[in-house]
Amino acid sequence: MESVEVCVVGGGVTGLAAAWRLGLAVREVIALEQFTLDHARGSSHGATRIFRFAYPDPLYVRMAQASLPLWRELEAASGDEILKMTGGLDVGDPAILEGVASALIGCGAAAERLDDPQTSFPWLAVEGMAVYSPDTGVLAAARALAAMAGQARKAGAEVREGAEVISLHPDDEGVTVRTGTGDLRARRCIVAAGAWARTLLAPAGIDLPVDVTREQVFYFRPTVDALPFIHHGALTRYGVPSFAGAAGFKVGEHTTGERTSAQGRSFEMDPEGAARVSAYVADALPDLDPEPVAFETCLYTLTPDQDFVVDVRGPLIIASPCSGHGFKFAPLVGEMLGRLAFDVGPAFPLERFALTRFDV
């Protein structure tokens, strides 16, 4: 039977970040992805994501601050432009915006309150207060995955595609990982399987309390000279400028998709959601043509509190830093997972992300 120090299950952004950081630490690691690295069935695909410090929670602000130099490290190593800093806006609910401003300032980051954001940013037709953060930008998501995989392999890690994990069998000495092509023995196993994780972990007696939803995003033209933004309201909406080959200006809704499963999800457009987003674009982004030119679907893996899960159960390390906002933290989470695999204290306290918070 093949053996390895650490097996990583999942080749999305979290799994590849862990493989990259473990490889840099000269650790023996194999990452297993059931599809190809660029597949569109999960949560990590697509051209772009928002990077931001702007959270109403100081923990996430500090984690984003710690992630930034790791993204720059990946850029320098790969030679690719992965993160374009542009500045960005949070608009909408004053209570959330005050929390964002307070958390940013409390963590030593810049934040500017704007009473009339449309005066400075006429492309966004919304009323009321906004918070401008210069530490916001656009991540090239597909480039990031390719760079992480490339750097992991360069450092000596093995990244296997088309390697479906059938089951996990932990014991006192490690984990037997059963795949469609044979068994593998690992001292530690990082489970970063996204929407597939709950089903994979259940036979090992681990209940990962997540719901899977199918979300959709739309691309609009012409691309305006705009910034990334998040509009906090009855529905949370966001916009991402075109970058790294994106089809246009991306607009989406946060957590409005239907509950589904990794196996049962649809790839078809939800017409009601499409109509809502087009109506929003017509009202709030008048420089855009409200008829979308492209759309994508993706999966969210949501905990009840929308915080992450990063925890250890024997030789298994559970990594679900998802809930629709985890991509920006991937290099830091990869570093944390690598440290957990070798019993080194994490850079951030993990009590907040423990599974025990869901115990009743």
Instruction: Tell me the per-residue pLDDT of 182-229, one tens digit each, with 9 for 90 and over.
Output: 999 999 999 999 999 999 999 999 999 999 999 999 999 987 789 999
pLDDT of residue 128: 87
Three-class SS string for the chain? Answer: CEEEEEEEECCCHHHHHHHHHHHHCCCCEEEEECCCCCCCCCCCCCCEEEEECCCCCHHHHHHHHHHHHHHHHHHHHHCCCCEEECCEEEEECHHHHHHHHHHHHHCCCCCEEECCHHHHCCCCCCCCCEEEECCEEEEEHHHHHHHHHHHHHHCCCEEEECCCEEEEEECCCCEEEEECCEEEEEEEEEECCHHHHHHHHHHHCCCCCCEEEEEEEEEECCCCCCCCEEEECCCEEEEECCCCCCCCEEEEEECCCEEECCCCCCCCCCHHHHHHHHHHHHHHCCCCCCCCCEEEEEEEEECCCCCCEEEEECCEEEEECCCCCCHHHHHHHHHHHHHHHCCCCCCCCCHHHCHHHHCC
pLDDT in tens, 62-113: 999 999 999 999 999 999 999 999 999 999 999 999 999 999 999 999 999 9
Domain that holds residue 187: 1-85+138-209+305-360
What is the percentage of the chain residues whose pLDDT exceeds 90? 93
Does residue 109 form part of some domain? Answer: no
CATH number of the domain bearing residue 75? 3.50.50.60
Q: Determine the pLDDT at residue 347.
A: 79
Res 224: pLDDT = 73
User: What confidence score (pLDDT) does residue 285 get?
Assistant: 96
Question: How far separated are the first and last CA of the chain, in Å rounded?
Answer: 40
Domain presence at residue 247: no
The number of distinct structural domains making up the chain is 1
Give me the pLDDT at residue 360, please.
56
Average pLDDT along the chain, 360 residues, taken 10 residues at a time: 95 98 92 97 97 98 98 98 98 96 98 94 93 98 98 97 98 97 96 98 96 98 89 96 96 97 96 98 96 97 96 97 95 96 86 90
Predicted confidence at residue 107, as pLDDT, reads 98
